Structure 1
């Protein structure tokens, strides 16, 4: 069985529309948005694990790099997985249920210098973090390092030239990242949370695929939010930079 076989059955147009409809709540109702995203992510990781290993995800350790305020912990617990969240920003750690929900464990640390031993977790996940760090492939290398042989590193990130590359700046990022940030500041009176050049960077599909291939561990790559019949966009240079939107790289040590 290929790693993506189980998840491919879940990757329907109905799912894509449902997730897309939740994106509009990211700023106004983060609990709703991140709760829906967490449920979908935990199901995806569980499917990828079972597809790649043939084993149940129950009892497996998941290290979530950039896990934020803990919305993902309960979702992974429902799949029987042992959750460990890593977040460098104390404001993010206290922005949601992590401080009151005792599901999972949490560590304050940088994703590019993880305080864990080599081969210490079954799954290392990074969901929508790589575009927020200046050295995304250093993050990827750390994820692989802490993943045990046979385990999975699942790195998912927003592609800069896709429609959501500008995050809350909307489609103005096509004018250029710095210009979009200045335009947002003039309109709202404050800098965007995802500020180009400091907390948001231009990450391409091409660079992610090239890095993943260079590790020798890549077993799957697909657009995270697309239905299965649209996964072919990942294979088209140029087109994929706009069409993929969010790329998932699945690596197995």
Structure 2
């Protein structure tokens, strides 16, 4: 069964519109926004695992790189995963709900230098983190390193030239990331949380696909929030940079760990 077979059935226009409507609550009501995103992400990963392994994910370990507050921990615990979150910022780590099933663990560390052994987790996820890292493909290489052969690496990130590339600065990022940040500062009296050049970087769809293909581990790629009938857009150069707001790269580590990926 193709790894996206089950998730493709979930990727409807209704789902896309529902998620789009939730984005407006990211700043005023983060619990609502991140709660909805966490549930959708857990469902996506569960579908990918079930399609690839023909079994439920119960008992398997998921490492969430850049997991932030506890919304994802709760969602993945309910899905049956043994959840481990990695977060470098203690404010983010403790900024969300404390409730989960009691088994979630958090590690304060950088995603580009994960403090885990080779082949130590079943699934490694990074959701909307790569665009906030100066060396995103070093993060990707680390994710591959710590994932067991036969496991899954799912790296999802926001494309810079897409409509949400500027994050809270809106569409002003099309005039330049630094200009958008200066405008945000003038309007709101403080710098944006996702500040271009320090905590937000211009990552393209082509960048991710080039890296993923070079690893030899790429299984598939698709636009995270698009309905299934629009997934073809990720295969079209230039169009994907503007029309695909978020790229998902699904990789399966090869048997010989460490033989392909080094820091880049």
Q: Normalising TM by the smaller chain, what interval?
A: over 0.9
Instruction: Give the SS at the match of 1:17.
Output: helix
Give the deviation of 1:97 after TM superposition.
Answer: 1.4
The equivalent of 1:121 in structure 2 is 121
The equivalent of 2:63 in structure 1 is 63
CA distance in 2, matches of 1:79, 1:179: 42
Q: In the comparison of the two structures, how many residue pairs are matched?
A: 252
Give the deviation of 1:53 after TM superposition.
Answer: 2.1
The equivalent of 2:33 in structure 1 is 33
- Maintained 8 Å contact 1:233/1:239: yes
Q: Does 1:164 align with 2:139?
A: no
The equivalent of 2:194 in structure 1 is 194
Residues 146-161 of structure 1: pairs in structure 2 closer than 5 A: 146-161=146-161
Q: Does 1:82 align with 2:50?
A: no
Deviations 1:21-51 (A, max 9, x none): 0000000000000000000000000111111
CA distance in 1, matches of 2:224, 2:65: 17
The equivalent of 1:179 in structure 2 is 179
The equivalent of 1:112 in structure 2 is 112
Q: Which runs of 5+ in 2 are unaligned?
A: 254-264
CA distance in 1, matches of 2:189, 2:77: 40
Q: Does 1:225 align with 2:243?
A: no
Instruction: Give the SS at the match of 2:221.
Output: strand
Deviations 1:146-167 (A, max 9, x none): 0000000000000000000000
CA distance in 2, matches of 1:86, 1:180: 30
Give the deviation of 1:173 after TM superposition.
Answer: 0.2
CA distance in 2, matches of 1:4, 1:243: 20
Give the deviation of 1:74 after TM superposition.
Answer: 1.1
Give the deviation of 1:103 after TM superposition.
Answer: 4.5
Instruction: Give the SS at the match of 2:219.
Output: strand
Give the deviation of 1:54 after TM superposition.
Answer: 2.1
Deviations 1:121-159 (A, max 9, x none): 000000000000000000000000000000000000000
* TM-score (norm: length of structure 1): 0.98
The equivalent of 2:258 in structure 1 is none
- Maintained 8 Å contact 1:122/1:151: yes
CA distance in 2, matches of 1:96, 1:173: 28
Instruction: Give the SS at the match of 1:169.
Output: helix
The equivalent of 1:210 in structure 2 is 210
CA distance in 1, matches of 2:157, 2:111: 14
CA RMSD after TM alignment? 0.8
